Amino acid sequence: MRHMKKPEKRSFGSINSVVWVILALIVVIAGYKFFYPNHVTNTTSSSDRSSSTKVIKVEEGKSSSSKAQSSSKKTKKTEKKIWTDKQDSELAAFISSWQQTMGQTYTGTNANASVSFGGVSFPDYLSKGQIYVNQQEVSMQWTRSEKADSEYKVVAVYTGDQYMYLFTFHNGQPEVLVTSQSASNGMNFKVTENADLVAEFQKVAAENTDK
């Protein structure tokens, strides 16, 4: 009988090597699928957090801007004036016409000018001398500010040969004072009885658009 060749037997070591290679590939693939999605999710989450932070910063900036505008409005509100250059010019125009009907000549403090009467200069005297109204000493201040702390706020002065007129705001209302006295131990004023002068000053004072 012919001798038949026996099939070759693969070594146990070779089989084990193949098995280990296959197992290693399975572990690598499974691990990649397991860990990779988490990595993507974390990246997206980080991006979302970054976007959220940017939105918050924009809102904070907007809030600061609103506060600045609000502060600006408050500041503007405290700067109200009781008299303007336009009103000063209107009063000067009226005095120019009115003095002719009175047969007198007056010089005024319009355009930041100074005037003299009774040996003193106005408006400087208002901060240095003693002022009386109906024999009662009062506080007067040359100012256009609504917030000024004085009983009388003087916005214009007109002087002639015989009389001097102070155009004032007293307790928030326009009031024209007059005197014919020179300054010795102070100057005493009273409310003028000239109806035309009073009416015109009240009219011009009411035109103040800053109030």
pLDDT tens for residues 31-50?
Answer: 656 555 555 444 444 444 44
Report the pLDDT value the prediction gives residue 90, as an integer from 0 to 100.
97
- Which tokens hold the place of 99? 């003095």
Report the pLDDT value the prediction gives residue 72, as an integer from 0 to 100.
52
pLDDT, tens digit, for every residue of 175-191? Answer: 999 999 887 889 999 99
Q: What is the pTM of this model?
A: 0.63
Q: What is the four-CA torsion angle of 34, 38, 41, 47, rounded to 10 degrees?
A: -150
Measured CA to CA, the distance from residue 25 to residue 194 in angstroms comes to: 114
Strand-strand pairing, 136-138 and 140-142:
unpaired
Which phi and psi angles does 114 have, rounded to 5°? -110, 150
Q: 21 pLDDT band (50/70/90 cuts)?
A: confident
Measured CA to CA, the distance from residue 106 to residue 129 in angstroms comes to: 22
| Closest of 151, 133, 73 to residue 141, by C-alpha | 151
